[in-house]
Every structure is written in structure tokens, then in C-alpha cells.
Structure 1
Amino acid sequence: MEFTSTTGEQQYAACVRAADDLLVGLDFDGTLAPIVEDPEQAHIHPDAPEVLVDLAEQVGAVAVVTGRPARQALALGGLEEVGNAVGDHGRELFVLGQYGNERWTSTDRRVISPAPPRGLATFTSTLPRLLHRAEAGDAWIEEKGLAVAVHTRRLDDADAAYERLLPLLTDAAKSHDLDVEPGRSVIEVRAHGMHKGAAVRRLVEELGARAVVFGGDDLGDIEAFREVERLRADGMPGLLVCSDSEEESALAELADVVVSGPDGVLALLRELASDIASARA
């Protein structure tokens, strides 16, 4: 493992020492599942379930924190089955969907979700007109219940369409008191005020965690990285892991360790679980 920050090795060692109270938070797309053209086919890496179960045996809790609806992440990741196995070790798996607006746990086993934000339905009804204005009429609109995402990946010139759409959708979202979350060839519009950083903070407080590892790959993970930085400033050990890609480099500049996609993430998690087990031996 090669650390890319000056304190990465120190933070990693501190997380190993605090394993019993360590929260490991992980994004889904690009971190546990490869990025694909059709998001509905973004199945979890085949090795991920076994790695997550082995990791859960060694740490306080594991959480998947994703912009996807929780039910979608559960299905694409086989995470209910993972939760069953995690429960056998006396641990708990959390799935926080839609940036923390939805919650599922392997103990409760039901998705808890608020009502859709005001203004979202009206905003969604304007999308066809906005796509037409941006010459991106064939962009895919994904309605998530609590959010709506516009995907440009399938378009002939995805980057150009994205650049035309982003200011239009941002202005329209603001007029409906909604937030815009740019990502890899996707622009998501959702409720104001909830993001992955807030989700991580709430979970740390709920669990009484004394250390945090967070792994992500895209702009939607920046708030989670910032929250871990704030926790570290208060003295809590925290490790930031970037699942790197050619499409997005912002997280790499903030990370303590940069790995190559889901394969690299899983290799790091295996090493973390092994080092914790060795430290206990």
C-alpha cells in the first residue's frame, strides 16, 4: 500500500488500533461496483461480498453510503445476503441510500425513507424542455423517488452535453430550493441539506465511533471526505481512500491513499482486515 499524504500511514495505523470502534464507509458506484454505461447494470464486484463480511468481522461497523436508492443498492450488491453473514459475526451492515436520506440496516431490514422534497415533481416535469434547450434530448432521466438524475454517458458527445446541461439544471434546481450534485457524466438534483458528510457524521455519533475509514470515487463523496477531515481535526483517526479513475481526479488530491478502482479498494480492505487480525493475535 502506497500512501499519498504525509499522514496517511499514521492514520492507517491509528485506525487499525481502534478497530473495535472503527466505522468503514464505502461508496457504491466506482468503489464497490465498476462504472458501466447502464447504471441499472452496475452490479457489485464479485469479490466484494466476501471481503465485506471478512472486514465486518474485524471492525465496529461497515456502511455503504450511496447516492442510489437504498433498495437499488441492496439489489445490485446482494447486500441483504451480506447483511445476513455480517449478522452472524455479531456486527451490523448499514446501507444509507440517496446520500443518507434513506436507511437500511441488517438488524432492522427495512428501508426508512422520508417523503420526496417539495419542488422535485415540478422540476422533473421541466426536464424534457431543459434537455431540448441543451441539445441533449436523448439524455437518460433516472427518477429516484427522492431525487432525479440526468445521465449523459450514453450520448455521442457526453462531456459537451454535460457542460451545456449543468448551468441550466443548476439554475432550475435553485428556483425549486433543490441541490445539484455533479458526478461522472451525471447531474443529480435532490433535497437541500443532506449529503454524504452529514450521513457520516450522524453514523459516527450514533455508533460512538472512534475512527473512520471512507472510500469513494466521485464528486458526491467530497463532503464525506471533508467530514472525515473535520473529525481528524478534532483528534479522531481517519483514513481517506480514493478509488481513482481517468474521469474524476478531485478526490485523489484529498486522499491518503489512491487505489485503482474497485479491485484496488477491495485489496486495501483485505489488507486492513488482515492487519487488524494480526494486531489482535
Structure 2
Amino acid sequence: MPLPHPRSGAASAALDRIVERPSGALLAFDFDGTLAPIVPDPRDARALPGVTDELAALSSLVGTVAVITGRPAAAAVEYGGLDRIGGVVVLGHYGRERWEDGEITAPGPLPGIDLVRSELPGLLDRAGAPEGTWIEDKEHAVAVHTRRTPAPDTVLAALRAPLAGLAERAGLVVEPGRMVIELRPPGMDKGAALTALADDRGAAAVLYAGDDLGDLAAFDAVASLRERGVPGLTVCSGSDEVAELAERADLVVDGPEGVAGLLASLRAELRSRA
């Protein structure tokens, strides 16, 4: 399968640079919705069959393979079998945690997380959150999911204001997503995580693939890296739930299956040139 054609000349130049200088390439990916299909309960998410194998194959051909996720790093490693990828860097909690070579480094949780834990159940009761609304405790963040409610988008809209108020009192920020609102520490997002990793590795070119609103910060980081002379390519793992990301992306593929296909094409191209 040939490599796809990105929408812009700058993106095409980035893909060319990755192919021509793979040892300097940083390939970074979101997890849920990008490497793993979206499922009703995030605890059931697993990497699409074959996608981890493709990443493992690419890891020996490019400079750095990374996963940047809002999940705890250890959860992403477990659910994706990411420990099978040689040299992979997993940045969890939007970069607050780093998993590398089986070791996790992270600062301690902020006190505001404890406040959210104690007050969130009562807040949801007062807001009339229906059955199916549930709380995911991520240690460094807390998320409220509505996907299993009868009207997920309506429930999410009703909860935005009270959750924003709680986040403000706790010194946290709100991160919206696909039928989820997350309350997490400020000062770190996928864009900051991607930029720091690109600088740390001296990346000569960057590819970032994501599927949700939280990935827009990483898209912005790719744009900033381009301004600094580092070619970059943004990929949207497309769905019918988040149109904004597809509009911004240099390349849109059909969900995790499309991401796997892109990885296979890139692997084949790199091996043909080895």
C-alpha cells in the first residue's frame, strides 16, 4: 500500500523527511480512539489487533516512537501491550507521567484531586446526572463519563458548568473529550508533552496522530515546531464524533484501522529503502 498524500506541501515535506531521515523522526500517538477503538467503558479498551506489532516494527526503523495519552501511563502500557515496543516512551496524564524501560517517573498528585474526589459524587447528584454517568479516578486526574447514559451529549452539556466550577475551586483545569469531561492539573497538555519530547530527542521531523479535542494542543505544537524549522505532520483518526480535529489535520484516516494501515505503509516504505 503506497503512502498517502497529505493536504499541504508542508505536511508532504514532513512525510518526505521522515522517510528520508527516519533516524531523526519522532512518531507520537494518542491511545484511545487512535491506537485503540473507543468502547463504552474505557477500562475495556485495548489496542487494535496488530497495531502494537506495527509500532514495534517501526521502533527499529525510526528515532522515537511515543504514546501521549490522558490515561495513566501504566494503564496505556497494559492495555496496549506497549512494553513490547523497543524504546517506546509513554507519556501519561498529558505528559505528567513518563514510562520508559519499565520505569515510571511523575510528581505527586495535587491536593485539588482529593477535593474533587470528595465533592464530585454530591455534585453529580445535585445536577441530576442520570444512571450511566460514572466517575473514573486516574490518580492524577478525575474524569466524568456520559457515554453510557441515554442522552450522552445532553448530559455532558448539563455538567459542563458545575464541573468547571468545581475545577476552579480545586485549582484544576477542565479537559473536554468524546462524551467525557476530565478535571486535571494545569500546566501540562499533549502539546507541551510533544514539544518537550521533540526537544529532548532532537527530532528532525515529527508525526502526531490523535482523535479528540485534547489532541488539538498537540496539533498546535506541530505547527509551532514547523515555525522552528522542524517538519511536522498531523494525522486525525477520524470518527463522526469530533469534526474539529479532522478539519485541522494534514491527513485523515479511518479510525484506528486507518492508523494501522498508515503504519504498515510507512513500515513498508522504510524497509524498501533500508
User: So what's the TM-score if we normalise by structure 1?
Assistant: 0.93
Aligned mates of 1:5, 1:149 — CA distance in 2:
36
Deviations 1:167-194 (A, max 9, x none): 2111210122101100000000111111
The yes-or-no answer on 1:118 pairing with 2:111 is: yes
The answer to whether structure 1 residue 155 and structure 2 residue 176 are counterparts is no
CA distance in 2 between counterparts of 1:179 and 1:25 reads 24
Alignment-derived partner of residue 214 in structure 1: 208
* Percent of pairs with identical residues: 46
Match among 124, 128, 132 for residue 135 of structure 1: 128
* Residue number in structure 2 paired with 1:268: 262
Number of residue-to-residue matches in the alignment: 270
1:233 and 2:236 equivalent? no
Q: Deviations over 1:23-62 (max 9, x none)?
A: 1000000000000001101011111121011111110010
Q: State the match for 2:97 in structure 1.
A: 102
Instruction: State the shift of 1:249 in Å.
Output: 1.3
Q: Deviations over 1:229-272 (max 9, x none)?
A: 10011111111000011011111111110001000001111111
Specify the alignment match of 2:81 in structure 1.
78
Q: 1:41 aligns with which of 33, 36, 44?
A: 44
Q: Which residue of 2 aligns with 1:54?
A: 57
Task: Find the aligned partners of 2:148 and 2:40 in 1 and give their Cα distance.
Answer: 7
1:200 equivalent to 2:203? Answer no
Does residue 183 of structure 2 align to residue 183 of structure 1? Answer: no
2:11–2:231 Cα contact (<8 Å) kept: no
Structure 2 unaligned residues grouped into runs of 5+: none
- Cα distance in 2 for residues equivalent to 1:184 and 1:5: 27
CA separation of 1:131 and 1:54: change in aligned 2, threshold 3 A: same
Q: Report the 3-state secondary structure (helix = DSSP H, G, I; strand = E; otherwise coil) of the residue aligned with 1:111.
A: strand
Amino acid in structure 1 at the alignment position of 2:207: V
Q: Is the 8 A contact 2:153 2:179 kept in 1?
A: yes
Structural RMSD (CA): 1.3
Q: Judge conservation of contact 1:128–1:137 (CA < 8 Å) in 2.
A: no
What is the distance in 1 between the residues matched to 2:270 and 2:139? 39
Instruction: Give the residue type in structure 2 aligned to 1:74.
Output: V
- 1:126-161 per-residue CA deviation (whole Å, 9 max, x = no partner) reads 112221233215311000100000000000111100
- The counterpart of 1:7, out of the listed 10, 14, 29, is 10
For 2:68, which of 56, 65, 68 is the aligned residue?
A: 65
Residues 180, 189 of structure 1: 8 Å contact kept: yes
* In 2: Cα distance, 1:164 partner to 1:3 partner: 38
Q: Secondary structure of the equivalent of 1:119?
A: helix
Q: Any conservation in 2 of the 1:183–1:219 contact (CA below 8 Å)? A: yes
Deviation at 1:2, TM superposition (A): 4.1
Question: Counterpart amino acid of 1:27?
Answer: D
Looking at structure 1, the residues matched to 161 and 20 of structure 2 have their Cα atoms a distance apart, in angstroms, of 46
Q: Mark the runs of 5 or more structure 1 residues left unpaired by the alignment.
A: 87-91
Letter in 2 for 1:54: A
